[in-house]
Amino acid sequence: MMIRSTASLFLLAAAGPAWAQSQSEDDRNTRARDEDIIREVERGYYFSANVGSTIYANTHGITTSSGSLLSPVIALGINVGSDFIDRERASVAWQIQFNQSLQNGPREDEVTRLQPFVQGDIHTFAGIGTLEASIYPTRRLGLGVKAGGGVMVIPLLMNPDSYNDVLVAAWGQPAKLHESPLGMIVGGPTLEYYTKLSHFSVGVDLDISYVFEFDLGISPSGFLKYTF
């Protein structure tokens, strides 16, 4: 009886380390297999850049001899954000955008005859925060919508003395757009395609914005995105 008990204890003691070693090897093999799998669709913190234009709808009704008061030239944007909800078929992300755009305005000889609205050509700067929700019909294609708000600044580009002596004198008051920051709201659809190059995706945004005391704008653009 004593011999049987001693043998059982010996076998149990010998089996413990062997079982632990087997489990450790299985864990190492699993980790190795996971490291061999490259996830081509990355989500998380990201940086992206947009190139496009902004078309203003002229809701203020001021026109020139050539038609619309402002004509689009180019719009650029840089964005940082993160997907804080990441599912196989859906994600939600926050994003901070810094956008700028150039617009051709009325000619010099027309500005003084218009309402006190803009100095002429303008350069806009906007800081915007948004939330974006997307669904994924396929593994690489994302369809989403985003919404948010921010602030736009339209600085005075011409010499301040000339602005006051010529335009303000002709208008009888300064243009409100150049006096202070303007609040804005933004929303619109977005389409994103995750390339086979890991971490990189491309897409298209269609931002629709309303800048208070300024105008309704439509901003189509393409973007390149890198997810860390």
Q: If 0-12 CB within 10 Å is exposed, 13-18 middle and 19+ buried, where does residue 166 land? A: middle
In the block, tokens 């653009």 appear at 221
* C-alpha to C-alpha distance for 224 and 127, rounded to whole angstroms: 19
CB 147 within 8 A of CB 97: no
pLDDT at 40: 65
Cβ atoms of residues 226 and 48 within 8 Å = yes
Residue 36 is predicted with a pLDDT of 44
pLDDT given at position 174:
94
Look at residue 35 in the predicted model and tell me its pLDDT: 46
Q: Which tens digit of pLDDT belongs to each residue from 192-205?
A: 999 999 899 999 99
Q: Which two tokens stand for residue 61?
A: 């009704």
All residue ranges of the chain with pLDDT < 50 are 2, 6-7, 9-11, 19, 32, 34-38
Q: Which residues contact 178 (CB under 8 A, 6 or more apart)?
A: 118, 119, 154, 155, 156
Domain-by-domain residue ranges, the chain?
1-37, 42-227
Burial class, 143, CB count within 10 angstroms (exposed 0-12 / middle 13-18 / buried 19+):
middle
Question: pTM, whole model, 2 decimals?
Answer: 0.80
Report residue 114 as tokens. Answer: 């218009």
Tell me the fold of 42-227: Porin (2.40.160)
- Cβ-in-10-Å burial (0-12, 13-18, 19+) of 138 comes to exposed
Closest residue by Cα to residue 224 from 46, 55, 100, 95: 46
H-helix or E-strand spanning residue 202: strand 200-211
